[in-house]
Amino acid sequence: MKRMNFVVLLVSLALSAQAAQDLRFALQAEPKTFDPLLVEDESSEAIRYLTGGTLMRVNRLTQELEPALAVSWKVTEGGRTIALQLREGVTFSDGTPFSSEDVAYTFRRLMDPALHSATGDSFRSGDGSLEVKTDGTRRITLRFPAPVAGLDRLFDQVAIMSARSPKKELAVLGPFRVKEYKSGSYVLLERNPNYWKRDSKGHSLPYLDSIRLDIEQNREVELLRFERGEIQLINTLAAEHFDRLAAQSPQ
């Protein structure tokens, strides 16, 4: 829960922090993958939440399931089948159009046992294969081998991938896209110019231009950099570090 709250905080800041144009914080380990369907570690999860677009999203404040790339959905057969109506006018970060073909591709790949996806395991509840039926570019029905508990809420974990883009996992539907990665040093994310969300005034989101995720395993160094203003967020704090910061900023 602590890890999930952190990545949700990142998304919230990225979408709403209008005063700043850039954000910087530290990852405590090297991301193991940029493939959103293979995420298991905390660093990769943070990147997935900042770059990946999902069909539905669980609001962590209200715990309500909210529409995202899917504008509506209906679960039937006790949680075995879900029919979705997809949002129109959405494109991936590289300009590739988003359609039911991408959802079909993502879930077929996710449910392939050869992929060994931990996310895919959440949808496995019986023997058999996933059945996919598309109806044009905006409607799709997924039928799983057996009923899945809380089926629609699990979609919050699945970042949709492009079936056609040559950029593979680098073509994304979330607020940011990977611009640069230097192993052992940092991951630089830049604003996705094709992100579909807008604020209440019609302005394109996110407000931030970039997020730099420095790879820093030394917690003391991370704290010192935070104190100097070189990074703006810290994931977790030891009790003594919290007391130290609280003493410096009692308000």
pLDDT tens per residue across span 6-65: 444 444 555 554 445 888 888 989 999 999 999 999 999 999 999 999 999 999 889 999
pTM of the complete model beyond 0.75:
yes
Upstream peptide bond of 206 is cis (omega within 30 degrees of 0): yes
Q: Which residue, 176, 160, 4, 149, is CA-closest to 84?
A: 160
C-alpha 94/C-alpha 41 separation (Å) is: 26
Residue 227's pLDDT band (boundaries 50, 70, 90)?
A: confident
DSSP code per residue over 139-164: EEEEE-SS--TTHHHHGGG-----SS
**Could you give the CA distance from residue 249 to residue 152 in angstroms, rounded to a whole number?**
43
In angstroms, the CA 63 to CA 142 distance is: 24
Over the stretch 78-112, which tens digit does the pLDDT of each residue have? 999 999 999 999 999 999 999 999 999 999 999 99
State the Cα–Cα distance between residues 79 and 146, nearest whole angstrom.
Answer: 8
Exposed/middle/buried for residue 190 (C-beta within 10 Å: 0-12, 13-18, 19+): middle
